[in-house]
């Protein structure tokens, strides 16, 4: 800038010029705070990881109170270990789950040591009955993610030779999953014996998330190996599940894989269904198949219409849409993070604040909280170090850069260290009203909880590359070569342009990543895009008797209300 050289104005001009170079003190404070919190989370991770390596490795998970171990490969889903050979030493599930976190923390030495050990020692040729869903997201997902991180030259995680050992292990495991899909419906059994396939008289009951949340890992495995069987099996199951939805586009919680009939009709965004929504959206991002987006969009609109009650989401009957259970479950806390990916920031922020309010009330998040009575569920008072609230906090900070979310993360770190840290690691909470502890450090504490808290305060790992995170927190980089066709619009930082450089008329909330979806093209400022948060009014003529009959506005994502003369609209001021 230029300034007139005048004695009276020289000092003022100097101050104005310096203002362009002075760093905002509040910004400096935030950066200092982020560095401090990053180091605290790093200490948490290594306290948990080092104790696992000392007292539990190569077994599956750590028991931090007694400094011992549990072989949980076939306990995932709370089933006792059966028929294992006497020399079985575990599958090092926590090590597999920790590899991507070690990469994000920049510990190439420990990452490479883990890869070498798994390459030489891990085997799936064991007589063990495992939960397909849990083994898929924890073990298969962990191996695939670590493989992709190992071959990425930008990470420089492997100093020696790497010959796709983790991918070969993943392929072996994937092949052992395939017999589970051999059902009349194509829906997989919930349990599979890694050595012998489906056991005689195996239960035919599974959950929506259990058979509808396999496509990320198995799809990635097909892309990496060239073997289409994995993705085909997962996709067939997903499409069959979608065909079983009600006329309201709702799905129940549990079903029979042989008959294709629903067992539990209650529908929700929580346990038993949660990752079904997540994988529809993330599969669209990762693979570019329009079917995923169409399914997600319909399912998302239905969830907004039938589950949402202000900032909360209750459960509803899949056939009638009427409420069934008014309860918060801790797994629901992933939802605001998913809404960030859709672009529905206002709704995400609203729900996230209510979840955090419950966290503040008890010090951690109870497994179930009865919304209608404002009390904890009497038999589900535990907190097993779940990551979902940390995950949503990370996504919302990335979307808004509001420092309040850093305060949320700091509060969570303090609570975890105060209530769950013990000399032998971090213990689950058996009862949040007394903070009585339980002797279990789940592998997802290292795979997700610590990871998302670390990324909240240091996002350098994701700053210049596009990743999706699986439901177990394992990063998979989004690459165009995995898309069956280039999507109509594609990402470039925070803005999305079509290949021609103009806005595509079919651009979606997902591709634009903003809500309201207003075109930023100055040549066509009047253009608007329909948002995925759009919920139609019940009546085409917009007449109503109550607010329940009104939807959500397409471009502002605000709830529409019923006016005094009986019409839905944006009557309430912001």
Catalytic, out of 110, 231, 367, 391: 367
Residue 344 is among the residues annotated as catalytic for this protein: no
378: number of Cβ within 10 Å = 8
- Tokens coding 442: 């789940």
Full DSSP string of 432-476: TTTTEEES-B-THIIIIIHHHHHHHH--TTTSSS-EEE-TTS-EE
Residue 274 is among the residues annotated as catalytic for this protein: yes
Which 3 state secondary structure label does DSSP give 169?
helix
Question: Between vectors from CA 142 to CA 233 and to CA 89, what angle results, nearest 5°?
Answer: 105
Q: How far apart are CA 524 and CA 545, in angstroms?
A: 38
Among candidates 533, 219, 489, 197, which has minimal Cα distance to 350? 533
Which residue do the tokens 């589950």 mark? 307
Give the per-residue SS3 of 228-275.
CHHHHHHHHHHHHHHHCCCCCCCCCCEEECCCCCEEECEECCCCCCHH
Catalytic, out of 110, 274, 344, 458: 274
Residue 120 is among the residues annotated as catalytic for this protein: no
Catalytic, out of 134, 231, 278, 438: 134
Q: Is 535 left (phi over 0), alpha (psi -120 to 50) or beta?
A: beta
- Tokens coding 266: 């209650």
CA distances from 497 to 177, 277, 410, 459, 481 (A): 40, 26, 36, 24, 19
How far separated are the first and last CA of the chain, in Å rounded?
Answer: 39
Q: Which residues, other chains included, contact 307 with Cβ-Cβ below 8 Å and sequence gap of 6+?
A: 267, 268, 269, 313, 314, 315, 316
Is 471 annotated to bind ligand?
yes
- Tokens coding 184: 């009349």
Catalytic, out of 71, 112, 217, 388: 388
Residue 431 is among the residues annotated as catalytic for this protein: no
* 8-state DSSP, 325: -
Cα dihedral angle (228, 229, 230, 234), rounded to 10 degrees? 110
Instruction: Tell me the catalytic residues.
Output: 134, 274, 367, 388
**Could you tell me which residues are annotated as the binding site for Ca(2+)?**
471
């Amino acid at each position: 800038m230029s300034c007139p050289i005048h004695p009276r104005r020289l000092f003022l001009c100097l101050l104005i010029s310096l203002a362009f170079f002075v760093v905002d003190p509040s910004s400096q404070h935030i950066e200092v705070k982020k560095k401090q919190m990053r180091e605290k989370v790093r200490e948490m991770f290594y306290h948990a990881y080092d104790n696992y390596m000392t007292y539990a490795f190569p077994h599956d998970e750590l028991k931090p109170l007694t400094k011992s171990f549990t072989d949980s490969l076939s306990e995932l889903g709370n089933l006792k270990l059966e028929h294992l050979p006497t020399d079985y030493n575990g599958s090092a599930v926590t090590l597999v789950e920790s590899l991507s976190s070690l990469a994000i923390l920049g510990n190439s030495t420990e990452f490479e040591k883990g890869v070498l050990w798994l390459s030489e020692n891990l085997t799936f040729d064991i007589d063990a009955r495992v939960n397909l869903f849990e083994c898929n997201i924890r073990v298969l997902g962990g191996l695939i993610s670590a493989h992709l991180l190992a071959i990425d030259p930008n990470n420089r995680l492997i100093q020696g030779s790497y010959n796709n050992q983790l991918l070969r292990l993943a392929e072996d495991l994937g092949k052992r999953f395939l017999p589970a899909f051999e059902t009349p419906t194509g829906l997989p059994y919930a349990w599979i014996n890694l050595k012998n396939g489906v056991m005689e008289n195996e239960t035919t009951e599974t959950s929506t998330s259990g058979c509808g949340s396999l496509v990320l890992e198995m799809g990635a495995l097909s892309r990496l190996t060239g073997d289409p069987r994995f993705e085909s099996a997962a996709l067939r199951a997903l499409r069959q599940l979608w065909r079983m939805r009600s006329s309201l586009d709702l799905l129940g919680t549990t079903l029979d894989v042989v008959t294709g009939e629903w067992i539990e009709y209650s529908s929700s965004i929580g346990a038993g269904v949660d990752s079904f929504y997540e994988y529809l959206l993330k599969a669209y991002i990762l693979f570019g198949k329009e079917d995923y987006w169409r399914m997600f969009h319909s399912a998302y609109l239905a969830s907004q219409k039938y589950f949402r009650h202000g900032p909360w989401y209750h459960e509803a009957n899949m056939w009638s849409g009427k409420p069934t259970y008014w309860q918060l479950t801790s797994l629901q806390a992933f939802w605001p993070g998913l809404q960030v990916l859709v672009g529905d920031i206002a709704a995400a922020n609203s729900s996230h604040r209510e979840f955090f309010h419950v966290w503040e009330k008890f010090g951690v998040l109870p497994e179930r909280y009865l919304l209608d009575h404002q009390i904890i569920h009497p038999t589900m008072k535990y907190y097993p170090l779940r990551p979902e609230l940390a995950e949503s906090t990370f996504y919302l900070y990335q979307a808004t850069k509001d420092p309040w979310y850093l305060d949320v993360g700091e509060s969570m770190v303090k609570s975890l260290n105060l209530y769950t840290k013990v000399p032998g690691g971090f213990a689950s909470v058996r009862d949040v009203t007394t903070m009585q502890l339980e002797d279990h450090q789940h592998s997802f504490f290292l795979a997700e909880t610590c990871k998302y808290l670390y990324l909240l305060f240091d996002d350098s790992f994701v700053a210049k590359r596009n990743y999706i995170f699986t439901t177990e927190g394992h990063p998979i980089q989004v690459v165009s070569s995995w898309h069956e066709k280039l999507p109509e619009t594609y990402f470039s930082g925070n803005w999305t342009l079509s290949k021609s450089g103009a806005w595509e008329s079919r651009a979606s909330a997902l591709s634009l990543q903003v809500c309201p979806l207003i075109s930023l093209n100055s040549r066509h400022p009047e253009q608007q895009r329909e948002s995925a948060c759009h919920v139609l009014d019940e009546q085409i003529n917009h007449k109503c008797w109550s607010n329940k009959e009104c939807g959500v506005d397409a471009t502002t994502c605000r709830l529409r209300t019923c006016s005094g003369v009986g019409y839905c609209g944006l009557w309430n001021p912001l």
